[in-house]
Structure 1
Amino acid sequence: MIKSRTAQECGKADFGWLQARYTFSFGHYFDPELMGYASLRVLNQEILAPGASFQPRTYPRVDILNLVLQGEAEYRDSEGRSVRINAGEAALLSTQPNISYSEHNLSQTKPLTRMQLWLDACPSHENPLIQKIDIGNASRLLLASPNGEENSLQLRQQVWIHHIDLQAGEQQDFKIHGPRAYLQSIHGRVDAHGGGSHSQQQLVCGDGAFIHQEPSLTVKATTPLRALLIDLPV
């Protein structure tokens, strides 16, 4: 089964300094039937105004993946660690109890646009506290995985995250590790076809799709496409 969740159905916020779209319940947006999907707790796209910041706060035990689409961001923790990432890069924060984290748009003239994912972290796993990766322009890239395979970011959970960058007419086939996955179009149109059924969905910019009980997925771009496939066995 592939079931779409359109960008229009998502929660939204506009605070002036922050504009956001929320796939799942977050902040003021609450839907008891959309508290996350498997170990994926949060999937937000947010735009921070020039010079804007999220002030320090603590988090539950999650891995926070930030993918910068436009601008330059800095992430700091209360113990003095920090990382800067530009458009085309991603950072992974392995949050810890009693440590607070902040986010800053480093530009005083340009907005910061990024995707943010929270993934539940296994209580027995510890990884580097801050990791960074350059995404590049490969048609498919393993962005994050449980064991850091293929030089990917290492998660504290059985999750595989693929970054997809296709031209119109190109396609990629993906094996799904377990019963669930989530496909998110960052921009562009995509046809998604399940490998275990005749299920398919067409997604446009900002749309997502719940994927259930499909052993594989074919992703075909009908326009230039950038997307994430989040493989969620747990």
Structure 2
Amino acid sequence: MITCRTATQCGKADFGWLKARYTFSFGHYFDPKLMGYAALRVLNQEVLAPGAALQPRSYPRVDVLNLILQGEAEYRDSLGNHLRAQAGEALMLATRQDVTYTEQNVSADQPLTRMQLWLDACPERVSNALQHLALRSTPCQLIASPDGAEGSLQLRQQAWVHQLDLQAGERHTLTINGPRAYLQSIHGRVQAHNAAGDEQQLLSCGDGAFIYQEQSLTIVADSPMRALLIDLPT
């Protein structure tokens, strides 16, 4: 089953210095039917104004994955760790509840646009506090996984995050490890087809889709497109 959730259905915020779109309940946006999906707690796209910063905050036990779409960000924690990431890169925080974290747009004249995911972290797993990865313009790149396979960021959860980067007319089929996954369009128009070929959804920029009880998913690009497939077997 493939169920679309369009960008217009998502929660929104505009504080001037921060503009955001929320897939699931977050901050002032609350929907009791949308508190996350399996281990995926948060999926936001946010734009920080030049020079804007998020004040120090703590997190529940989650891995925070940031994909930088525009600009450059700096991340710091209260233990003294810090790292910068710019457009075309991904960064992950393996958060701890006794540590606070800050984020800043380091540019004085360019907005910072990024996509942020929170994934529940298993208590018995450990990984590096800050991890960094360059995103490639390839049809499919594994960017986060439980064991850091293929040079990906290492999650503290049985989940896999793939980035798809296709030109118009190209297609790619991915195997899904468990009963649930989530497809998020970043830009472009994309068709999502199930394995049986009897169901499909068309996603435009910012749309998402819940994937349930499908063994594989075929992505067909109607235009140059970029998307994430978040594989959530647990």
The question of a shared fold, defined as TM-score above 0.5 by the shorter chain, is answered with: yes
1:225 matched residue in structure 2: 225
* 2:14 alignment partner in structure 1: 14
Question: Does structure 2 retain, via aligned residues, the 8 Å contact 1:162–1:229?
Answer: yes
- Structure 2 residue aligned with 1:31: 31
Equivalent in the alignment of 2:58: 58
Name the CA distance, whole Å, in 1 between partners of 2:100 and 2:151: 27
Runs of 4+ in structure 1 over 6 Å off: none
TM-score between both structures, scaled by the size of structure 1:
0.99
Tell which deviates more after alignment, 191-200 or 55-64. 191-200
Task: Pick closer, same or farther for the CA change 1:205–1:187 going to 2, 3 Å.
Answer: same
How far did residue 119 of structure 1 move? 0.2
| Structure-2 residue corresponding to 1:4 | 4
Match of 2:209 in 1: 209
The amino acid that maps onto 1:98 is D
RMSD: 0.6
Please give the per-residue CA displacement for 1:88-107, whole angstroms capped at 9, x wherever unaligned: 00001000121000000000
Find the aligned partners of 2:192 and 2:73 in 1 and give their Cα distance.
32
Distance 1:138 1:222 in 2: 17
Task: Confirm whether residue 169 of structure 1 aligns to residue 169 of structure 2.
Answer: yes
Tell me if structure 2 keeps the 8 A contact 1:127–1:156. Answer: yes
Q: Residues 160 and 48 from structure 1, CA distance in 2 versus in 1: closer, same or farther, beyond 3 angstroms?
A: same
Contact 1:196–1:216 at 8 Å: present in 2 too? no
Gaps of 5+ in 2: none
Q: CA shift at 1:197, angstroms?
A: 5.8
Residues 65 and 117 of structure 1 are in contact (CA less than 8 Å); yes or no, is this contact kept in structure 2? yes
CA distance in 1, matches of 2:81, 2:109: 25
The one-character-per-residue Cα deviations of 1:126-178 (angstroms, maximum 9, x if unpaired) are 00111000002111100000000001000000000000100000010000000
* 2:8 aligned counterpart, secondary structure: helix
State the match for 1:195 in structure 2: 195
What code does the residue aligned with 2:3 have?
A: K
- Residues 20 and 44 in structure 1, CA contact (< 8 A), matched pair in contact too: yes
Q: Measure, in 1, the Cα distance between the counterparts of 2:199 and 2:118.
A: 28
Q: Which residue of 2 aligns with 1:184?
A: 184
Unaligned 5+ runs, structure 1: none
- Structure 1 counterpart of 2:76: 76
Find the aligned partners of 2:110 and 2:9 in 1 and give their Cα distance: 28
Amino acid of the structure 2 residue aligned with 1:21? R
Q: Is it true that 1:116 corresponds to 2:133 in the alignment?
A: no
Q: Which amino acid aligns with 2:41?
A: R
State the distance in 1 between where 2:200 and 2:47 align.
31
The aligned counterpart of 2:148 is 148
CA distances 1:21-48 after superposition (whole Å, capped 9, x unpaired): 0000000000000000000000000000
Q: Name the counterpart of 2:44.
A: 44
What is the DSSP-based 3-state SS (H/G/I as helix, E as strand, rest coil) of the residue aligned with 2:38?
coil
Q: Distance in 2 between matches of 1:215 and 1:89?
A: 29
TM-score (norm 2): 0.99
Q: Which deviates more, 19-28 or 132-141? A: 132-141
1:102-131 Cα distance to aligned partner (Å, 9 max, x none):
000000100000000000000100001110
What is the aligned-residue identity percentage?
Answer: 65
